């Protein structure tokens, strides 16, 4: 039992240390590349396209459904407690800005691009392509991590902003067609409780979550065991651990940014 707990503790410690190590190496290389003007522009654009454009339909559709549910839930609770739901737009929007848009977007991207990163790097490891990169003196950080980091942050940032606009439009449609609001009345109260401080916190979350996904996922890809089963386990662990880290960092940012 003690041996098992010791092995588990070492493994869990490595799962925290490895993403931090990869992030530090990538940050140093990114600064160096920026100073030298050396960019893998084509690969970066490819990763931005894969992360942003290919993920947009599912993210925006999911945020539309979640925003509809939040409006309906707020309306029901306010009618029960306050006997009126005039403040539903304001409350639903501040919840969307603070929590729904950044967290749901990051979770969906973690399940899509996180699994892809872990599986791709894991497949490269078991087919000895990573060893070939070393023989060619090609940096794994420059070749694999930095483009995916930039793509992930760009996707999180852009899709979260698009999700906010989508949620506002969908909520207005629901309010005007099902809840008796006039569109002008709905929009007048939409930003009643949402301040610039809330939007700034939302954007900070997008950068943090966009950074967590590729490095947590890549760490599992680099640790992938031999065989197709190892690749599958790496992809699964990448999604679950990325989602867990998103939840933990969401709590930390909320505590530091909004809590008194």
Residue 133 contacts residue 143 (beta carbons within 8 Å):
yes
pTM of the model: 0.87
Q: What is the spatial distance between Cα 87 and Cα 78, in angstroms, rounded to a whole number?
A: 8
Q: Which two tokens stand for residue 234?
A: 């790496």
- The per-residue pLDDT for 3 is 47
Name the residue with tokens 């940012």.
Answer: 253
Query: How is the chain split among helix, strand and coil, in percent rounded to 5?
Result: 85, 0, 15
Phi-psi region of 147 (alpha: psi -120 to 50; beta: other; left: phi over 0): alpha
DSSP states along 19-57: HHHHHHHHHHHHHHHHHHT---HHHHHHHHIIIIITTHH
Reduced to 3 states (helix: H, G, I; strand: E, B; else coil), residue 1 is coil
What are residue 246's phi and psi, to 5 degrees? -60, -45
- The per-residue pLDDT for 245 is 92
pLDDT along the chain (260 residues), means of 10: 44 69 86 76 86 90 87 76 73 87 93 89 85 79 87 94 88 73 72 85 94 92 81 89 93 86
Residue 217 contacts residue 238 (beta carbons within 8 Å):
yes
Name the residue with tokens 């030298």.
Answer: 36
Burial class (CB in 10 A: 0-12, 13-18, 19+), 11: exposed
């Amino acid at each position: 039992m003690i041996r098992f707990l010791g092995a588990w503790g070492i493994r869990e410690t490595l799962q925290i240390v490895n993403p931090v190590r990869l992030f530090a190496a990538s940050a140093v290389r990114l600064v160096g590349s920026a100073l030298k003007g050396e960019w893998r522009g084509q690969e970066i654009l490819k990763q931005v396209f894969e992360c942003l454009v290919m993920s947009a339909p599912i993210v925006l559709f999911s945020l539309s459904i979640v925003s509809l549910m939040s409006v309906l839930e707020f309306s029901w609770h306010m009618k029960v407690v306050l006997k009126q739901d005039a403040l539903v737009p304001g409350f639903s929007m501040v919840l969307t800005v603070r929590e729904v848009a950044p967290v749901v977007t990051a979770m969906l991207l973690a399940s899509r691009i996180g699994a892809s990163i872990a599986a791709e790097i894991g497949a490269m490891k078991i087919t000895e392509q990573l060893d070939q990169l070393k023989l060619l003196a090609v940096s794994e950080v420059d070749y694999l991590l930095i483009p995916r980091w930039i793509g992930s942050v760009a996707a999180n940032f852009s899709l979260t902003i698009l999700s906010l606009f989508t949620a506002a439009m969908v909520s207005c449609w629901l309010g005007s067609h099902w809840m008796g609001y006039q569109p002008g009345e709905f929009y007048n109260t939409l930003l009643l409780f949402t301040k610039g401080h809330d939007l700034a916190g939302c954007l900070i979350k997008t950068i943090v979550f966009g950074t967590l996904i590729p490095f947590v996922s890549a760490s599992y890809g680099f640790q992938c065991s031999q065989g197709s089963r190892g690749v599958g386990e790496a992809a699964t662990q990448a999604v679950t651990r990325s989602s867990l880290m998103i939840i933990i960092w969401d709590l930390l940012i909320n505590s530091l940014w909004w809590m008194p």
